[in-house]
Amino acid sequence: MDENPDPHIVAEGLLPTPFTADEIRAALRHGAVIRILDEAADGTSLERINRFSDGDDDGATLTSHALASPGAAVSKRVTWRDLQAHAAFPADRTAVVTETIEHPLGRLECLRYDVSDGDGGAVFWFALAHPGMPVQYEATDAAGRTRTTAQEITPG
């Protein structure tokens, strides 16, 4: 057994993730705040805030709330490894390319993951300069296309 496995590989049959748990921890541990715009297939949208706090070697508290409703915040403990695993996609249904996009955060070099499934699929753009969640995500199903876009990332 390899004593130094690739830290980008979460499990057999999955593609390497764009970031390791260590890279995500370094980017988010000290209180990063991410402002996100969710656009639904029906044309409605919602802005929300994700805030990381109480970061340590294993994880952090993630608090999320609609921008207009900070009193309705939901908090949960997340591990860096779990956050990494969210970007682990099936190798047999995913294509990965490097793509530069124009984005609210600027011109970004990204790894683009195109994931196909029976309902339509999804596309994730992970900006190499922003370890963590995708800076943009689009999903298509019978209801139409939804999009989630990071509008602002404030490092901790």
Q: pLDDT digit string (tens) for 9-36?
A: 999 999 999 999 999 999 999 999 999 9
pLDDT greater than 90 at residue 120 = no
Distance of CA 129 to the CA centre of its chain: 13
pTM (2 decimals)? 0.93
CB contact at 8 A, 102 and 113: no
Taking residues 46-67, report their average pLDDT: 97
Looking at every residue in the chain, the average pLDDT score rounds to 94
How open is the CA angle 118-137-63, to the nearest 5 degrees? 115
C-alpha span between 10 and 13 (Å, rounded)? 9
Return the pLDDT at 1.
Answer: 44
C-alpha span between 82 and 28 (Å, rounded)? 14
Pick the CATH number of 21-154 from 3.30.200.20, 2.50.20.10, 3.40.50.300, 3.40.640.10: 2.50.20.10
